[in-house]
Amino acid sequence: MKDKVPYAAPLAIGLLLLAAVLVLLPSGLLFDFGWNRDRNRGGAGDTDPWGKGPRLEENQEAASLVSGDPSDSLLAALLAQLASKNAPDNEAILTFKDEAALKDFLARANAAGLKVLDTLGNSVRVGFDDLNALRGDMRDHYGDYAGAGGNYDVYIPEVPQEERQQQSEVGFGEGALAFMGIKGNFTSYGKGVTIAVLDSGVTKHSTFTGARLKYIDVGQGLTGTADADGHATAVAALAAGAAPGSIGVAPSADILSIRVTGQDGTSDMFTLAKGIQAAADAGAKVINISLGAYQSSSVLTRAIDYAYERGAVIVAAAGNDQAGQLTWPAADSRVISVGGVDALGQQLTFSNSGDQLQATAPGLELQTAWPGNQTTSFDGTSGSSPLMAGAIAAVLSQYPQLSAQQAAQLLTTYSADAGAPGRDSSFGWGTVDVGYALNANNPSYLDPSISSQHFDAERGVMEFVVQNRSGAAVDGLILGLNAVGIQSQVGVPALAPGERWRHIVHIDPSRLLTEGELTYTSRLINPNGLTDQNPGNNRKGSVVFKPSETPAR
């Protein structure tokens, strides 16, 4: 998705303008406006932009249409979406008001010059050689339609090579689970829970032990053969792998593989929606989608509705474009959107941000499975998402009385605060911490931590956030600081379970300009007698760069 450009806002404005113009234009100009776009795939001159058939203004039936026909709004909506480079210009998704209207359309589609490619509920994916055929059906049967739109492409996220800020990042290797507070015997995590993986098709691998791996074919086959098709295997193992070198968060969970990508490695809104509905129908309580697009569709929205109403939770990758908005379906408010962090707890430079972001999870150099019974190092929010999906399955297996949505809420509520204190657009509610979520009410579980060192450039201060991720109150903590070579210790007040406390250090702007960068480290010192369940989160370090550079988070 590196080269994909967000189109949602301009398309909405364009749709309104186009609808207004369609009403005002004479019939002879109506189709000139809709077709004279730089979309010519088949040549120039007298051919139409699809390169097939006569120009629309030469079609007598089209030219005889009356301006202001009520079906013009349907055409306007469709044309606005087909204008996107990410929507094929020779197919559409049509939605009908009820089953009877759909049945009538299916009976007449072939004779009308429309090819039915697939159906889902009251929606149809159709192909056409001449938009006149579809325009004519909209006009003649306008009362049957509920909507029309393009079938946007959906992509596996790419990982950009450039950085948006100066930052030294540290990968995880096999350390992601420990970072997420998972230790000891967790082999039962995920037992009895099905995680659906909507991706490129999971290949058989020793990490998917027993008969845990199952398949559903929604029209794309089961697995692919290209190198990129290994994406699904890597994703599924992060959620539920069980072999050494590729152990996932929920090693006892069942995996339902639904291939939604084609031979070119991309998917589309209709196929993705079909995969979501199939997963929900099969009883999957957790649905992972490590794909995305910067446009949405009503068919995707209805599929999310369908899954949500049946008790499933959808987890999706935020995207790897360094963008200030999330890709769909992660951008949907009901979806658990997941960004990426490195082993220092920093937001990864490529991870998308946005107000809708729910959580973050490890996303750099993750050790996981690869086709051919191999392992690989995996980067991106594509890996962060299944770690959260596995975490939800783990919680469900330990607390079966919870719904999938409640399990997800438990993980976001009891997460490691990161970045600015509280929820923010870079980390959501925080970084997933399975140990904390499962032990939030366990008084014997003690885990005081340094959640973040956050540089607030606007105020010129460094914030050190201490969070008590314990099931009981903790007193007697000391925060040790090394602020640009100046060492100090600060007493931390007694913290109730889940409580946060922050200490602020002002940055010397003249020294920052002179030296170019300033280094800060912190260490949390526990009182004698406290057994810390996760001492690895008691240290932090970060660098602040001068204003001419992009400042560190």
Enumerate the active-site residues: 199, 231, 382
Position of tokens 């959107």? 337
The helix/strand count (H/E) of the chain reads as 14, 24
Position of tokens 């749709």? 15
- Helical pair 298-309 and 269-281, crossing angle rounded to 10 deg: 10
Which strands make up the sheet holding 145-149, listed edge to edge?
114-120, 123-128, 91-96, 145-149
- Is the CB of residue 307 less than 8 Å from the CB of residue 280? yes
Cα distances from 154 to residues 187, 311, 358, 503, in angstroms, run 34, 25, 21, 44
Burial (CB count within 10 angstroms: exposed 0-12, middle 13-18, buried 19+), residue 210:
exposed
DSSP per-residue string spanning 173-209: BT-HHHHTT--S--TTTTTT-EEEEEES-PPP-TTS-
Q: Which residues contact 437 (CB under 8 A, 6 or more apart)?
A: 391, 395, 410, 411, 413, 414, 415
Structure tokens at 235: 């994703």
What does the alpha-carbon distance between residue 375 and residue 252 come to, in Å, rounded to a whole number? 19
- Is the CB of residue 356 less than 8 Å from the CB of residue 327? no
What does the alpha-carbon distance between residue 174 and residue 154 come to, in Å, rounded to a whole number? 30
The H or E element spanning position 108 is helix 99-108
What torsion, rounded to 10 degrees, do the Cα atoms 37, 41, 42, 47 define? Answer: -10
Structure tokens at 353: 């941000």
Position of tokens 């070119």? 264
* Beta strand residue intervals within 103-193, DSSP E: 114-120, 123-128, 145-149, 153-154
Task: Give me the residues paired with residue 145 across strands.
Answer: 96
Q: Which residues contact 504 (CB under 8 A, 6 or more apart)?
A: 461, 462, 463, 464
**Total residues belonging to the chain:** 553
